[in-house]
Amino acid sequence: MGSAMYAVVAVAAGSRWAGGRYTYVVPPGMELAPGCAVTVPFGRGGALRRGYVIGLSDDTDIPPGKLKAIERLDSPAPVVSARQSALAEWMSEKYYCQLADCLSVIAPARPERKRRAKAKASARGGPPEIELNPAQAEAVAALTAQLERPERPWLLFGVTGSGKTEVYARVIESALAAGKTAVFMVPEIALTPQTERLLSARFGGDAAVIHSRQTPLERSDVWRRVRDGSARIVVGPRSAVFAPMERPGVIVIDEEHDAAYKSEQDPKYDAREVAEWIGRAAGALVVYGSATPSLDTFERAERGEIGLIELPARANGLPPPAVEIVDMRLETAAGIDSPISRRLAGAMGEALSAGNQIMLFLNRRGHSPFVSCRVCGDVMRCGRCAVNLTYHSDDGTARCHYCGESRPLPKTCPVCGNPHVYTFGWGTQKVEEAVREMFPGAAVLRLDSDAARPKGAYESILRDFRSRSADILIGTQMIAKGHDFPGVSLVGVIAADQALYTGDFRAAEGAFALMTQMTGRAGRAGTGGLSIVQTYSPGHYSVICAARGDYRAFYGQEILIRRRMSYPPFTHIFQIVLSGEDEKAVIGALTTLAHIMGRLDRAGEFELFGPAPALVSKINNNYRWRVMAKAADERRLRIFAMFSIDRLRRFANLNGITIMPSMDPRSIS
């Protein structure tokens, strides 16, 4: 701490294009240090906002009469370290967002209070010793050898059930023994209880959980425990990467292929890229793990940019589950309109008779994806978004999954007045109804974002299924990854090809990953395993490769398509989305931007696309249009795109228009 007359403070301004760095007068007697949180008056009205001190000075070029004074000091000590501040600067440039927004996701949610978090009682040192198989032992040896001076990130490529978690735990154990700390990242909040339970059984109170559903004070308490050393392992989804560890030894990114590691809110950071930055800055080992690595990661491993370790078989020596493909076109031809095929229904009856559990996967929540009149064909659509309304049977409403608009299911068509209004398609609620009707004696649970909304609900649902209080678990992608339920002998993938036709070039990759991850939930404890994949596209290579559990065959096919089409990882895509309530103004601004980009690219260095409507062309009354540029050189593409945006801001009226740029988005908007 020290005295200074002026402080440079990062404040989130109204526009992401504002500088975000402002000079304030330090009140007499207030002692600050870089990294402290402060409250400052901002703008003409002097509205109070939170900011972060990023610099101190005894003089300034700004006339003192034009400067406001800091209102108050929110933290007696810095809430972000020098390394974290440097990370925020890198994120601000990398993800085209304000420095204050980056600092806010790194810092605790609010100033810390001196309240001791209650540590969970757990005895360190049950768990029974697990004997590693040769492949696991080699993986542990290779990774622990990298702990002292990591040369590069590593990919642990292991089939489902291959014992990746035990490898992670052994590496974490070595890191702790060396006086270092660890981060264990999972893609879904639903996976944190299981992971925490495993690590707490092994390491006692050293493990702490952080995630977005915690209260600000809970998150702040975890941050304090990490800082004072009482929590040496942090478990959680993507925000766990920001844990303020002084000596991180290893950062584990489990299920690294999952798109959830990329934030869809500003700052739109990719936790994998952030982890690699921390690894380089702090000398920490970054370990990716997946049965279905993202093509980008596996291609890097093929080139040697990251290391590759394989676990080719299940840890317990059991074979993978048998996988059958059911052609749903034959069900339709037979006049069967049910989400449960005849083959799956028969297998479910056999599993229940044998006292085994069942998991059914459908990556679509709600009851039916659209509501339509059979007379005039009108489909109920959201009034604020360019999407169909989804029918939810729990409250009898049709809802928008983007803005939340909700309407009662009409008794007559609002267009033609006929009473022939029906729901079409399948969602998890409809599957649940069908299963309860088929097997009235079975105990059924459903886990999707609707069912998991109440606090603690997802933990309760998973706990009940794990304890075998239920026979059947129906769910979305929340149940597809990382879970280990020994009683499950049968898995049903209801609509395997649903993710194939989204219009995104990564669609096949996502569909393959979900199918492979889901089928791997069956037969993990010697009960014998069967997975049934229902699809209308039984000949698609992603379906065939997933059924065979053959990642390399899928990778070989998909990487050829990516190379031929000049898609990542062989090029980079810069997407610019403009949105606003005035569609004509949005189109006009985007047309101007496309013209600017075309004039700047006279040499034809970049491949340009658009203007065109975004895939979802309106959300919450904001129209969305986009342009895209492709190039092999990421740096030159970044400079070109950002310079084009800067020219647009200078010469176009952008009142009411939001600009959303992103490099290599996980999904094309």
Distance CA 474, CA 495 (A): 13
DSSP 137-170: HHHHHHHHTTSSS--S-EEEEE-TTS-HHHHHHH
What's the CA dihedral at 142, 148, 153, 156 to 10 degrees? Answer: 30
Q: Are residues 541 and 466 in the same domain?
A: yes
CATH code of the domain containing 166: 3.40.50.300
Which H helix or E strand runs over 584? Answer: helix 583-600
Query: Which of 12 and 362 is assigned the larger pLDDT?
Result: 362
Range of the domain at 30: 6-106
pLDDT band at 198, cuts 50/70/90? confident
β-partners of residue 51 are 11, 38
DSSP annotation of 602 reads T
- The answer on 440 and 341 residing in a single domain is yes
How far apart CA 193 and CA 199 sit, in angstroms, is 10
If pLDDT is split at 50, 70 and 90, which confidence band does 130 have? confident
**Is the pLDDT at 118 greater than 60, yes or no?**
no
* pLDDT level of residue 66 (50, 70, 90 thresholds): confident
Q: Is 519 among the domain residues?
A: yes
Both 284 and 247 in one domain: the answer is yes
580 and 444 in a common domain: no
Q: Is the pLDDT of residue 342 over 50?
A: yes
pLDDT in tens, 302-321: 999 999 999 998 887 778 88
| CATH number of the domain to which 603 belongs | 3.30.70.600
Q: Please spell the DSSP secondary structure of 44-93, one letter per residue.
A: TTTEEEEEEEEEEES--SS-GGGPPBP-EES-SS-SS-HHHHHHHHHHHH
pLDDT tens, residue by residue, 80-112: 999 999 999 999 989 888 899 999 999 876 645
State the average pLDDT over residues 326-351.
94
CATH code where residue 71 lies: 3.40.1440.60
- Is 335 part of any domain? yes
Distances in Å between the Cα of 646 and the Cα atoms of 93, 482, 643, 660, 668 are 14, 43, 5, 13, 23
Please identify, among 384, 408, 424, the residue that sits at the C-terminal boundary of a domain. 424
- How many domains, in total, are found in the chain? 5
Regarding whether 301 and 241 lie in a shared domain, the answer is yes
- The pLDDT of residue 184 is 95
- Regarding whether 382 and 361 lie in a shared domain, the answer is no
CA separation for the pair 205, 201 (Å, rounded): 9
If one counts every other C-beta atom within 10 angstroms of the C-beta of residue 194, the result is 20
> What are 509's two structure tokens?
């990759």
What is the reported pLDDT for 527? 66
Q: Is residue 89 part of a domain?
A: yes
Q: Burial of 114 by CB count in 10 Å (0-12 exposed, 13-18 middle, 19+ buried)?
A: exposed
Instruction: Say whether both 526 and 436 belong to one domain.
Output: yes
On whether both 498 and 601 belong to a single domain, the answer is: no
Residue 611 lies in a domain: yes
Does 112 fall in a domain? no
Mean pLDDT confidence for 327-352: 94
Residues 257 and 302 in one domain: yes
Judged on CB neighbours under 10 Å (0-12, 13-18, 19+), 618 is buried
In this structure, are 16 and 84 located in the same domain? yes
The answer to whether the Cα torsion of 6, 11, 13, 17 is positive or negative is positive
pTM, whole model, 2 decimals?
Answer: 0.89
- If asked whether residues 334 and 466 sit together in one domain, one would say yes
pLDDT of residue 668: 67
Asked, for residue 226, whether it belongs to a domain, the answer is: yes
If asked whether residues 420 and 507 sit together in one domain, one would say: no
Q: Check whether 119 has a pLDDT greater than 50.
A: no
Q: Which amino acid belongs to residue 297?
A: T
Judged on CB neighbours under 10 Å (0-12, 13-18, 19+), 317 is exposed
Residue that finishes a domain, picked among 530, 563, 596: 563
Phi/psi for 203 (5° steps) reads -120, 5
Ranges 183-187, 334-338, 453-457, 473-477: which has the least confidence: 453-457
Which pLDDT score, from 0 to 100, does residue 395 have?
84
Helix, strand, coil shares of the chain as percentages rounded to 5?
35, 25, 40
The secondary structure of 277-328, three-state, reads HHHHHHCCEEEEEECCCCHHHHHHHHHCCCEEEEECCCCCCCCCCEEEEEEH
What tens digit of pLDDT does each residue of 237-271 get? 999 999 998 899 999 999 999 989 999 888 889 99
The answer as to whether 619 is a domain residue is: yes
Length reported for the chain: 669
Tell me whether residue 120 is in a domain: no
